[in-house]
Structure 1
Amino acid sequence: MKLHHSKTFAGSAALLIGAAVLLSGCSSSTPTTTSPSATTAPSSMAPSSMAPSSPVAGTPDLKTAESAKGTIVVDGKGMSLYFFTKDTKDTKVSACTGECLAAWPIAVASSETPVIEGVTGKVGTITSPDGKLQLTLNGMPLYYFAQDTKPGDILGQDVKEVWYLAAPDGSMIE
């Protein structure tokens, strides 16, 4: 009897060791997953901490708002958008680079097909040097002014006579 009990014990021990090896192998071969929110960067990594981020799902990329200069184009959060006269119409590259972008962060689109409300000009995108989709209106890139800190601010209007608010039809408000 003693012999039978030893064989059963040895068989059980071998079975437990085998199961432990299999289980440890499973845990190391199972890929780890990370939630999208942990790996997804914010939609706007603009150089200025005051730069608004891209609109959240369900809000337009571009819409209109009333200002002291008339009806203007704003983002989904109501932040004013500007044209830079040194940009070339239908450009694929922004003329605002380096330090310019610290003061004039790009307006980032939520997708290649921007969502608009009330804007009648032709809306599109170009790819920024860092791979983001920069909004364009009538072929001209759009920017924020870092000193505009709340919806309705239009402090960037006519800065250095090269920055102008965007009108809904895609013209510059001079």
Structure 2
Amino acid sequence: MDTIAHIGRGHYAALATALAAAALLAGCGGSTPSSPGDEEGPEQVATGSGEYGTHLTADDGTSVYLWMGDHGSTSSCSGACAKAWPPVLTHGAPKAGKGVDAARLATVKRADGGTQVTYAGHPLYYFAGDGGAGDTNGEGSNGFGAKWWLVAPTGAAITEDAGSGSSMSPSMSPSMSPSDSSDGGGY
């Protein structure tokens, strides 16, 4: 009986060890990107066309936005803001794709340690409400205290409806701080 009990305990110990090893290996394995741009390597920024004309894209055609709440090239979007508007991150110098001026591409270090792509001095973001390439659901949203706009190849915010062709430079707009919003969300 002691032998059977000893073998039983041995199997439980082996099972527990195997489960612990499996959990450890699962934790060490590769992960899938949680948002566009999280992949390894330099991000490519290109242009796409749609309802609002020609605008910047990244991550194989996903629309990117600028936020009027940022001040210069420093991102003011973190926490809940960065969950709704994930920053365009890169590992290495970003690459200029079709229609993009390479001289306007740069990066900035985020407070969380990530490296965010900037264009014409403005940090770039995705919108969590866009389902994929070509979607522009974030255009004109007023979330976290300021407007979110698609970015023209010139680096200006695309601030008007399709067909009007109007855009404005981010530096020409009134500045709002993230705390100016009464609801904090608005997307």
TM-score (norm 1): 0.65
Counting aligned pairs with the same residue, the percent is 32
> Paired residue for 1:97?
78
- Of structures 1 and 2, the larger Rg is shown by 1
> Paired residue for 1:123?
105
In 1, Cα distance between equivalents of 2:79 and 2:29? 27
In 1, Cα distance between equivalents of 2:30 and 2:110? 18
Consecutive unaligned residues of structure 1, counting only runs of 5 or more, are: 1-37
Describe the superposition over 1:74-116 as per-residue Cα deviations: whole angstroms up to 9, x where unpaired. Answer: 0031100000001122x3x3111211111000001231x2111
How many residues are paired up?
127
Q: Aligned-pair distance for 1:132?
A: 1.4
Q: Give the conservation status (yes or no) of the 8 Å contact 2:45–2:58.
A: yes
Q: Secondary structure at the match of 1:102?
A: helix
TM-score (norm 2): 0.61
> Does 2:116 match 1:134?
yes
In 2, Cα distance between equivalents of 1:99 and 1:60? 23
Q: Aligned-pair distance for 1:144?
A: 0.5
Taking a change above 3 Å as real, the CA distance of residues 40 and 130 of structure 1, as seen in their structure-2 partners, is farther
In 2, Cα distance between equivalents of 1:162 and 1:94? 14
Q: Give the conservation status (yes or no) of the 8 Å contact 2:37–2:90.
A: no
For structure 1, which segment, 121-130 or 99-108, has the greater mean C-alpha deviation from structure 2 after superposition?
121-130
- Structure with more of its chain in strand, by fraction: 2
> Does 2:147 match 1:166?
no
> Does 2:44 match 1:64?
no
Q: Give the conservation status (yes or no) of the 8 Å contact 2:37–2:59.
A: no
Describe the superposition over 1:4-57 as per-residue Cα deviations: whole angstroms up to 9, x where unpaired. Answer: xxxxxxxxxxxxxxxxxxxxxxxxxxxxxxxxxx67776x5xxxx4x2134665
In 2, Cα distance between equivalents of 1:149 and 1:68? 16
Describe the superposition over 1:109-134 as per-residue Cα deviations: whole angstroms up to 9, x where unpaired. Answer: 231x2111121261110011222110
Q: Secondary structure at the match of 1:73?
A: strand
In 1, Cα distance between equivalents of 2:111 and 2:43? 24
In 1, Cα distance between equivalents of 2:151 and 2:71? 15
Taking a change above 3 Å as real, the CA distance of residues 60 and 104 of structure 1, as seen in their structure-2 partners, is closer
Consecutive unaligned residues of structure 2, counting only runs of 5 or more, are: 1-27, 160-187
Taking a change above 3 Å as real, the CA distance of residues 63 and 56 of structure 1, as seen in their structure-2 partners, is farther
What RMSD over aligned residues (CA atoms) do the two structures have, in Å? Answer: 2.2
Q: Give the conservation status (yes or no) of the 8 Å contact 1:55–1:75.
A: no
Taking a change above 3 Å as real, the CA distance of residues 41 and 139 of structure 1, as seen in their structure-2 partners, is farther
Letter in 2 for 1:133: T
